[in-house]
Structure 1
Amino acid sequence: MGGVTVMLEQNHMPAVLPKAPEDSLSPYSDALLAHFPAKEDILREARQQTQQQRQFKKTLITTSMCLLLTVGWLDPMVSTETLHTAIGQQATVQLKDGSQVILNTNSVLVAEQHVRSRQLYLQQGEALFTVKHGWQPFTVYANQAEIRDIGTVFNVRHTQPGAVVTVVEGSVEVYTAQQTRLLTKGMSVNTQAGQMSDHCCNAHNAATAWQQGRLMFDATPLAEVVAEVQRYHVGQIDIADPRIAQYRLSGEYDIKGIDALLDVLPEILPVHVDRRPDQSVVIRHR
């Protein structure tokens, strides 16, 4: 008898896992995380703040150093005064720092007192400076020349091409755009277009004779004599004949006697002096 195989189908039901009990603190944890960052976020923010603080300190230090350097170099002006004399006039002035200035005829001087320095600008004419020593440098400027005092008495004359600097006592340093020179007692130098002439010695007597009311000439060409006399004479003085410009004159003459000097010229040189009503003078060959 054939056997009958009976297959029994087994029904597999999915297993149901027991449900984990709900965490009662979970809602509170989520709320706390929303208000308080994670550890990684705290560390990242801390690093950023540290970097920002370091950068701020560097910027603060750099700014402070720049301010210190700026204040160190700045030299603001505290006060200024303008001194001047008329043609034929001389004046003695005591500066605020105690230094003394004697101005010659037809001169203009601007004196500036700065926090860290004393700066004087001889715009025209001539002046003798007796400097009172102090920690503030004393500098005179005259037609592109710079004269720095090193404890001294010195004379500065502003000329058309430059300046003439003569040391009476002590020493000065003279600067131009191209040269620097140290002058001591008795030395004198002319400056012109950034250059300096060879200094001459024992020139202080002639350079400062004007303080005693004297003009000194030593075989001086007439053209230079007239240029010097013109500083003390209101009317124009002209040399009409170029042949006489190189005639030479020597001697000492009174500054207040310029008219007398002009009158005596024909007795010394072969010239004729023609005076005119407007106080002008023409000097011709005789």
Structure 2
Amino acid sequence: MKPLLSKQTIWHLFEGKTSPLQNTLVQEWLEEPGNQELYFQWLEEWERENTQFKPNVEQAYLRSLELAGLRSGSSSEAGFTPETPVRSLGNRIRFYQWAAACIFLLLGTYLLRDFWFYKHYETGYGEVRTILLPDNSRVSLNAHSALTIPRFGFGTGSREVQLTGEAEFAIQHLPDNRRFIVRTPDQLEVQVLGTEFIVYSRERGSKVVLNQGKVQLRSLTNLKAQPVVMVPGDVATLSMKGQLTLRHQQPLSTHQAWKHHRFMFENTPVSEIAYQISEQFGVNVVVSDSTLARRTVGGTFQANTVDDVLRVIADILNVRITRTIQPDQSVETFVLTPVH
């Protein structure tokens, strides 16, 4: 379990007043993404409270040489008043604590450089979240998804974001026609000017659904291929092998249902339904019978929890659902078995 730290402790870190043990606790605390964002907020507050700090560089330099034993001559030559041995030891300890804190901050800045330059938004299983970006574009994140944007200058400079999972984008058009670019882990690049679209990118590939406007797609794994231009109603898929496929005049409501915690199926195989439930709620859904896996379901179902959707599937298909937790697994497993 990661330690719980107060704002006062973090402020002491900025002021060089923390002990080596506290520095270690802060480093462990920063391993949590949520704490990293809180750390940045507290840093901004501390900077507003401490807007002016002007150290005496020359005196600090001479003192550091004296403590390190590198400066010849007596301390009085440097303008220092002789001190008792006890006082000198105290100053040395404080100097080493200050130096350790500085080293810790520099090391932390290097290790967290991704955090300093980028802001991260995430959703848990079963969670849908809407985010307003600095350029007034709106993003709705589906469950178990993550969006990364530049922390500084977004909209005035780059408008590039990274997406893992699924999200709907409503892009704000800017006077200078600045492009908005979405990138996915499998090297799919989506370029837009002002439009509404959905991007899906998970382990089994990527998908783009265009609602309004126009977007241009290209796979960065094959730069020789011509970009694909989409129009409203198009659905583009990128396979795990990097092959881009475009389908026209597709029903969009099916792809947008997750925004309202709904599942929409149109002759959807049970095997595909099981996969969607696993993605949405972070559980394992096992279809024990191959004939059952090929059966199809149609309809729209409200489902805020995994139990909601599985209860509907059980009633429609007349199947028994068994819930288990394997000793070597941290997630629940639901097994669908036909009732004969």
TM superposition score normalised by structure 2: 0.57
Contact 1:166-1:203 at 8 Å conserved across structures:
no
- Between the two proteins, the alignment pairs up a number of residues equal to 208
Across the aligned residues of Structure 1 and Structure 2, the Cα RMSD in angstroms comes to: 2.1
Q: Give, in whole Å, the separation in 1 of the partners of 2:304 and 2:203.
A: 24
Match of 1:118 among 140, 159, 174: 159
Q: Using the TM superposition, give the Cα deviation of residue 79 of structure 1 relative to its aligned residue in structure 2, in angstroms.
A: 5.0
CA distance in 1, matches of 2:121, 2:136: 16
The aligned counterpart of 2:229 is 182
Query: Quick one: distance in 1 between partners of 2:218 and 2:283?
Result: 35
CA drift at 1:81: 0.9
Q: Is 2:190 aligned against 1:147?
A: yes
Match of 2:167 among 127, 130, 139: 127
Instruction: Say if 2:171 and 2:193, in contact at 8 Å, map to a contact too.
Output: no
Q: Measure how far apart 1:97 and its partner are.
A: 1.6
Paired letter, 1:190: T
- Asked if the contact 1:161/1:191 (under 8 Å) is kept, the reply is no
Amino acid at match of 1:131: I
Is the contact between residue 234 and residue 246 of structure 2 (CA under 8 Å) also seen in structure 1? no
CA deviation after TM superposition for structure 1 residue 191, in Å: 0.8
Task: Tell me how far 1:182 sits from its aligned partner.
Answer: 1.0
- Give the equivalent residue in structure 2 for 1:99: 137
1:150 touches 1:173 (CA, 8 Å); kept in 2? no
Counterpart in the other structure of 1:88: 126
Q: Does 1:274 align with 2:322?
A: yes
Tell me the residue number matched to 1:34. none
Cα separation, partners in 2 of 1:256 and 1:224, compared to 1, 3 Å: same
Distance 1:114 1:95 in 2: 9
Structure with the bigger percentage of strand: 1
1:284 corresponds to which letter in structure 2?
Answer: T
Aligned partner of 1:64 in structure 2 is: none
Inter-partner Cα distance in structure 1 for 2:320 and 2:132: 44
Is the contact made by 1:102 and 1:128 (CA closer than 8 Å) also made in structure 2?
yes
Structure 2, gaps ≥5 residues long: 1-115, 326-330
- Deviations 1:180-200, CA, capped at 9 Å, x for gaps: 211111211111122122314
Q: What is residue 214 of structure 2 aligned with on the other side?
A: 171
- What is the rounded CA distance, in whole Å, between the counterparts of 1:255 and 1:153 in structure 2? 25
Cα displacement (A) at 1:257:
4.5
SS at match of 2:281: coil
| Aligned residue identity for 2:173 | H
- Within 5 Å, which residues of 2 pair with 1:243-262? 243-262=291-310
Distance 2:204 2:324 in 1: 30
Rg larger for: 1
For the 8 Å contact 1:87–1:234, the answer to whether it is kept is yes
Structure 1 unmatched runs, 5+: 1-77
Once the 2 structures are TM-superposed, how far is the Cα of residue 271 of structure 1 from its aligned partner? 3.1
Q: Which among 153, 159, 166 is matched to residue 202 of structure 2?
A: 159
Which has the larger displacement, 260-269 or 184-193? Answer: 260-269
Q: Secondary structure at the match of 2:280?
A: coil
Show the counterpart of 2:66. Answer: none
Once residues 130 and 242 of structure 1 are traced to their aligned partners in structure 2, the CA distance between those partners, rounded to angstroms, is: 40
Q: Deviations over 1:159-188 (max 9, x none)?
A: 323211001111111111245211111211
Q: State the identity %.
A: 26
User: C-alpha distance in 2, partners of 1:181/1:141?
Assistant: 15
* Structure 1 residue 226 corresponds to structure 2 residue 274: yes
| SS at structure 2 position matched to 1:139 | strand
Distance 1:144 1:242 in 2: 34
Question: What letter matches 2:227 in structure 1?
Answer: T
Aligned to 1:285: 338
